[in-house]
Amino acid sequence: MTENQFARSFVANLEHWVETQKVVLSSLTKVEEQLRDADRLELVLAVRMAFRHMIRTLEAFDRWLQDPFIIGHMPREMLEEVQRKTWDLFKQLLELDIVHTAQFKDYVVKLVREGKLNPLLSVQSGEERRIPGVL
């Protein structure tokens, strides 16, 4: 493959990725309006769909930044912007996790005090309930 063929193919792949992400963003915007009246299951499904796509995008971005071609040609200014925005997203995610987990802990304590925990959902075969993915 010649250098020009490689460049054309590479640019076509980038254009395809960008267009795919734009379609997802457009779909997200349309679904966002429907979520105002969503039930609990629909909200959980929407969050899980968003997580799956974010994970896919993060994994692709991580592979992107491992590619010697990419990092060998990307200007420092672009890397600085990616680093800043990534850290902003990272901090927002940590803040969301901290607030959400603390609020849910307080809510569970309230349910315990009121004797309102669902026993079918509270018991986990005699083991301590743990947060999935956390040791």
Output the pTM of the full model: 0.80
- The rounded percent of the chain whose pLDDT value lies above 90 is 84
State residue 42's pLDDT score.
Answer: 96
State residue 122's pLDDT score.
Answer: 79
Q: Can you tell me the mean pLDDT for 61-83?
A: 95
Question: Is the pLDDT reported for residue 112 higher than 60?
Answer: yes
Read off the pLDDT band of 1 (50, 70, 90): confident
DSSP states along the chain: --HHHHHHHHHHHHHHHHHHHHHHHHHHHHHHHHGGG--HHHHHHHHHHHHHHHHHHHHHHHHHTT-HHHHHHS-HHHHHHHHHHHHHHHHHHHHHHHHHHHHHHHHHHHHHHTT---HHHH--TTSPP--TT--
State residue 134's pLDDT score.
Answer: 57
State residue 124's pLDDT score.
Answer: 67
- The rounded percent of the chain whose pLDDT value lies above 70 is 91
